């Protein structure tokens, strides 16, 4: 057996220790460089974000300050559809609405202005959330962002319109059920009412629209066509409110 050389062994560990120190020092320098760059870039981003917020208030959304319930949502939608509304865009939003949801009715009444009502009194204490009406054509919008319909609510509204209880109205009718999950109304007193609604759906006289589709089609096009910068911001906030609010997200619940 060769003699154990203490001197060589010590020299080996000395070199190993020095090599290890060099590696650690190099690694620490790289870490310092990385985090210094990261901190610098983070600071740049924060400064940029602050500058952007000063210019456009990107974190602000007017709907964060408003108590949004079914009635206030109906009022906003009615405002968009009112050709004489304070948005100042005339028929622009109504035309978008017609293109998105109403064109299939194929009636020459679509080029006319509609009177727009909210909480329109119908049978008993019931009120139609939004009603668009001309002399020969009407659109019911039943707005259900948070709750389900009452028993026979939709079919009662349709019957009320079709029986011509409304003065100076007789014509075609479209009913839009605006809700969270594109669910079919379920609360009916008998099967004949379900069949009647199914038949109207097949004929294009009854359609179901989710708030997600409503935002991505109708509201997005309204935003793109709106010439008022001030009102464009309002529409953008409305779209963002719908897209970020859990109450409007289709999570598979039925």
147 and 232 together in one domain: yes
pLDDT band for position 166 (cuts 50, 70, 90):
low
183 and 122 together in one domain: yes
Cα–Cα distance list, 52 to 40, 91, 113, 154, 203 (Å): 18, 34, 41, 47, 50
The per-residue pLDDT for 145 is 87
Helices (H), the chain: 6-56, 70-81, 92-97, 153-162, 191-202, 211-213, 220-225, 229-244
The 10s digit of each residue's pLDDT in 226-250 is 999 999 999 999 999 999 887 776 5
**Taking the CB of residue 238, how many other CB atoms lie within 10 A of it?**
22
Q: Is residue 27 part of a domain?
A: yes
Q: Answer yes or no: is pLDDT of 74 > 90.
A: yes
37 and 84 together in one domain: no
Q: Is residue 65 part of a domain?
A: no
Q: Is residue 62 part of a domain?
A: no
pLDDT band for position 83 (cuts 50, 70, 90):
very high
97 and 209 together in one domain: yes
The per-residue pLDDT for 249 is 60
28 and 138 together in one domain: no
Domain that holds residue 155: 70-248
106 and 23 together in one domain: no
123 and 173 together in one domain: yes
* pTM of structure: 0.74
- Tell me the chain's radius of gyration from C-alpha atoms: 31
Average pLDDT, the chain: 82
Of 158, 194, 192, 150, whose CA–CA distance to 176 is shortest? 158
Q: Is residue 147 part of a domain?
A: yes
Q: Is residue 2 part of a domain?
A: no
126 and 230 together in one domain: yes
DSSP state of 146: S
Of 125, 122, 134, 95, whose CA–CA distance to 218 is shortest? 95
The 10s digit of each residue's pLDDT in 124-156 is 778 999 999 887 789 999 999 887 788 888 898
The domain total for the chain is 2
């Amino acid at each position: 057996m060769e003699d154990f050389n203490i001197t060589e062994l010590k020299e080996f560990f000395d070199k190993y220790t020095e090599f290890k120190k060099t590696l650690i020092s190099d690694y620490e320098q790289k870490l310092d460089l990385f985090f210094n760059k990261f901190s610098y870039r983070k600071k740049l981003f924060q400064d940029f974000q602050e500058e952007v917020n000063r210019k456009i208030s990107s974190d602000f959304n007017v709907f964060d300050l408003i108590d949004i319930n079914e009635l206030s949502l109906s009022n906003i939608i009615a405002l968009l559809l009112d050709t004489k509304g304070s948005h100042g865009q005339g028929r622009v939003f109504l035309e978008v609405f017609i293109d998105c949801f109403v064109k299939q009715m194929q009636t020459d009444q679509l080029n006319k202005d509609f009177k727009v009502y909210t909480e329109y009194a119908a049978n008993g204490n019931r009120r139609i959330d939004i009603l668009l009406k001309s002399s020969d054509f009407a659109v019911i919008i039943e707005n259900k962002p948070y709750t389900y319909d009452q028993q026979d609510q939709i079919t009662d509204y349709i019957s009320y319109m079709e029986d011509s209880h409304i003065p100076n109205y007789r014509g075609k009718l479209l009913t839009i059920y605006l809700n969270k999950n594109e669910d079919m109304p379920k609360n009916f007193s008998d099967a004949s009412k379900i069949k009647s609604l199914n038949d109207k759906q097949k004929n294009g006289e009854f359609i179901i629209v989710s708030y997600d589709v409503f935002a991505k089609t109708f509201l997005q096009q309204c935003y793109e066509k709106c010439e008022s910068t001030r009102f464009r911001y309002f529409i953008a906030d409305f779209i963002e409110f719908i897209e970020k609010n859990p109450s409007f997200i289709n999570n598979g619940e039925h």
